[in-house]
């Protein structure tokens, strides 16, 4: 997998486009990290495939451009995603972040952003992948540890190289909701961290493995 770096990293931070479907808590975590300066990147576009996605409000509050590509306007998945693809290209994004997008991306979309599109999934992949109910499935299966994974998006759904993982214990009195909430708290840490590593050019894919390079020594 070949990574494509920002065209002019000296004069601007990497430009990030975020795809959402719901409340957008991971989007908010990323936005707050960029605002604190802990993630050296800029969110320049937010796209939702649902018109009622609550996360759109976080973009509006910051005057970040938004695009709605929902089923009402684009009944076919291929048409929705072509609208998304065109918007991301027009915004000149360097990295695409899938932060709770609830539909599988078509091959042309994945190919367009190969090596520079990441996803957050609420399980320790490869366990409980290819589902929107990973937390409930983990609980039903009886695992003692689960968590979240940040990985590159490939045409193998939830099967791309893993960048980061964070684990949480499964408690005896957990419900699907309490477990999901605890996993989500870790997603809010892992996703900005993965974007930071990518923005700092410290992520290298070697076969199926992701190597994280050490931070550069501060200039003297």
Residues annotated as catalytic (active site), given as ranges: 121
* Angle CA 127–130–131, to nearest 5: 95
In the block, tokens 């800029």 appear at 42
**CA–CA separation, 134 vs 129, rounded Å?**
7
Check if the beta carbon of residue 153 is closer than 8 Å to that of residue 109. no
């Amino acid at each position: 997998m070949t990574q494509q770096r920002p065209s002019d990293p000296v004069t601007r931070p990497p430009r990030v486009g975020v795809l959402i479907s719901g409340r957008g808590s991971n989007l908010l975590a990323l936005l707050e990290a960029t605002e604190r300066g802990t993630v050296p990147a800029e969110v320049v576009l937010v796209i939702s495939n649902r018109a009622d996605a609550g996360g759109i409000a976080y973009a509006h509050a910051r005057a970040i451009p938004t695009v709605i590509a929902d089923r009402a306007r684009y009944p076919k998945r291929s048409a929705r995603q072509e609208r998304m693809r065109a918007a991301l290209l027009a915004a000149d994004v360097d990295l695409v972040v899938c932060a709770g997008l609830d539909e599988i991306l078509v091959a042309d979309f994945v190919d367009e952003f190969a090596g520079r599109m990441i996803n957050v999934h609420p399980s320790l992949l490869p366990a409980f992948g290819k589902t929107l109910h990973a937390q409930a499935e983990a609980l039903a299966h009886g695992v003692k540890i689960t968590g979240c994974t940040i990985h590159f998006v490939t045409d193998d759904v939830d099967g791309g190289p893993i960048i980061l993982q964070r684990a949480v214990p499964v408690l005896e009195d957990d419900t699907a909701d309490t477990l999901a909430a605890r996993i989500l708290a870790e997603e809010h840490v892992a996703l900005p961290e993965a974007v930071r590593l990518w923005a700092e050019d410290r992520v290298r894919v070697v076969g199926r493995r992701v190597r994280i390079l050490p931070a550069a020594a501060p200039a003297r």
